Structure 1
Amino acid sequence: MRRTKCCLLLFVLLIHNGCCIKWLALGHSSNEIQQPWTREACTGLRSAGILERKQARACRAAPEVMPSLVQAAIDTSAVCQHSFRNRRWNCSNIERAPDYTPELLTGTREQAFVYAMSAAAAVWRLARGCALGSLASCSCATPPRREPPSPSALTSAFSASSITFGGLASRSSFKWGGCGDDVRSASRIAKRFLQGASPPAFGSTGKFLHAVNMHNHRAGRRAVEQSLSLECKCHGVSGSCSVRTCWRGLGSSGPAVAGARLLRRYATAAEVRPRSGGRLPPLYHHDNLLYTTKSPDYCSPDKNRGSLGTIGRQCNGSSSGYEGCEYLCCGRGHVTKTEEILERCECKYISCCYVKCKTCRSIVKTYECN
C-alpha cells in the first residue's frame, strides 16, 4: 500500500514538473504561426494538454503574443538540439512534447537547460515583436538615462562601412534613437505566460520543484537581458560621425546567443536539495541553473530515466572532445565504415550548351558507436 502511494506521488510530481514546458509542442506545426488565434483555439490547446489553465487564459486575453511564442518553441528545440548535437544526451526527446521522457520531468540538469532556454527564446521573440509593432502591450524600449560610451569604447558594428575615430569622433555628439528592443516588457509578458502553473498543493517537495523550475525560467530571462548590446548609427558629412544615434538591441543572431550563455551555465549548474517550506536556499545567484536530480550517463538505453543510449550514434574518430568516439561511445568502442562516393567533377562547357564532366571517386569514413 505504501509503495502504491509513493508511486502515485511520483507520478503526480512528474506530471506537474513538466507542465510549464508542455507549450513547446506549439513548435511542432508551422501552421500554428499563421492560424487565427481565437478564444476557441486557445481553449482547444488547453483541452489538448498543451497549455495550462492560466496559459490558456493568457492566450485568450492577448492572442497577438501567440505567434511569437510559437516561434520561441521552434527556437528552443532548434537551439537545444544544436547545442547538444555532439553529446551523449542530444536533446532529441524535446520533440516528444508535450509527452516528455523522464529526463525532462525529474529535475535534471537537462531539464534546467530546457526551462531556461524556453524562457530565453520567449523573451527574445516577444522583444522583437514589441519592436516590430505587432504587440499591443509594448513597442520600442525606453531610452536609457545614461550616455552611450565614447566611440573608441564601442564594440558593436556601425552601419558606416569605414569610420576613423580620431579627435573629431571623440567630440561627436550623440542621441538615443532608433528602436531598442524592449526586453523588460517582453520579460514581463513571458513571465506571466510561462509561469502560468500554480505551485502544487500536495506538499513541500512539489513546491520546491516548482521553485527550482521558476528559478531556471528567471535565469533564462536574465540571459536575454545580458545579451543586449549597444548599436549605433553615424551621421555627418562624408561619414564624419559628427552625430551618433544609439540604441540597445538584441542583434540579428536570434536566441542562440542566449543559448550559448545558458550552455555555459549548464556545465556549472548547482544541485539543490528540498528544504522546509519548499523554498530555495538563498545561496544561489539568479543566473545559475539549478537541478534536483543527478542525470544518468546516457550511455545505455534506460526508459525509466529517459536515456536513449549512444549505440549506433556517429562519432568523430579524430576528436578527443564530446563528439569523439572515446567519450560518445562510453568506452564500448566503435566500428569504422568505409564508403566510396562517386561524384561529377571537373565539368567544362563544350561548345555552347554541352557540359562534359569527369567522375571522381572519394572514400568517406564514418564511425559508429558499438
Structure 2
Amino acid sequence: MAFEFIPRSLEQRRQQHLLRNPVMVDSSVGAIITVQNRHYLNFSSNDYLGQRQSQQVMQAWVEGIAEYGVGSGSSPLVTGHTKSHQQLEDYLADQLNRDRALLFSSGFAANQAITQALLHKDADVISDKLMHASFIDGAMHSDARFRRFRHNDLDHLDGLLGAKQHDTLVATEGVFSMDGDDGELAKISQRCVEHDAWLMVDDAHGIGVRGKTGLGSIQDSGLSQHQVPIVMGTFGKAIGTAGAFIAGSDDLISYLINFAKHYIYSTAMPPALAHATLVSFQQIADAQQQQKLMSHIARFQRLCNQAKIPVMASNSAIQPVIIGDPQRCTQVSEKLKQLGIWVSPIRYPTVSKHTDRLRITLSASHHDADIDALVDGLALALTPTSQSQ
C-alpha cells in the first residue's frame, strides 16, 4: 500500500503518548478559555500582555478593514504593500535603531527566509542548541555547513568560531521559548564581532515584554546594528496580533526583498493587521502591562518556592515545570484541567527526550487570585497520591 508509513508513524506516536491533536476553543475572554462548554484559567497562551483583546487594538483592526478591506490582495512586490505596512516597518526600524525592517506573515516564514536567502554553500551557520525549530529546519535544509553550540555555552561557541573559514551566521534567541531563560546576547555579540561573524537574534518571546517601548531584548540591551546585524521578532505573542519582521541594514533588507522567496512569493499580511500591530506597539509604550506581568512572575516564583514546586528559574512569562516523562506530563495536565486550570503538556520532539514539561505562561491578563489558584493546583496535581486517584 502506498504511503503506509503514515498510519504506522501515527500508531508509534500514540503508543509513546506523543500523539498531538488540536484543541478547539469555544471562546476566550481575558484569561479564561472555554473548551467543550467548560471554563478554564488559561496558562498556555503566549498573549503575555493581554493585547489580543485590547479595545484599542481591536478598534484599530476595524479601522484598517474599513480603509483597506480584510486582505492585502497581493504580494508586497505587486500591490500588497500599503502605507500601513510602511508605517509599521518605519516604527520598528526607528525603535530598534536599525536602517530598515521588513514584514513577514509569520515568524516561521521570517526564519526560513533568513536561512534560505543567506546560507549559501560556502557559508557556516552556528546556532544555540535550543534555537526554535523554524530556524533549525531552515538551517538543516540550507547549503551551508550547520553546527550547534551547547545552550548558552560561550566556550563551546568560541571553539566553533575558531574554525571559521567562510561567511558565518551565529543564531540565538532573546528569550528561549521552552525554558524561558535569556540568551547571552552581549557576550555572544562580542564573540561574533571578534570573529567577523554576523549575529542573528530570534526575539519572538522578548518582543513586547522587554525594552522601554516593548521592542524586546535588543532594545533592552542596547546592542547596535553592528553588534546584532539581524533581528527577528513576531507579533503573535505579546503584541497580540500576527506576523513577524526582520530588521537590519539597508543592504540586508534590500537583499531579502530581492532574494527571500518567503517574502517575494507570499501574499502580504493584511494591511488592517499591520495598522492594528502598530497601535498595539504604541499602546504598550504608554501602558503598564510589563510591570503587571513582572509582578505576576515574581508572585508565581515566590509561591512555588514556598510550596516546593520545582519550577525552573526564569524571569520571563514562560515558567516551565519539568516532568520528564510524556505520559505523566499528560496526566498532570489532565489533573489540572479537572481543577479548572489549562496548562498544556509539552513533550518530545518539541523538547528533548526526558525534558517533557508543563509550559506555564503568565499574562498581564491574570489576577493575583489566578496565580494563587495555579500554584495550589500544581501542588495537588504533582503529588503522587493525586496521580493514583
TM-score bracket, shorter-length normalisation? under 0.3
- Higher relative contact order (Cα pairs below 8 Å, separated by 6+ residues): 2
Normalised by the size of structure 2, how large is the TM-score?
0.23
Normalised by the size of structure 1, how large is the TM-score?
0.23
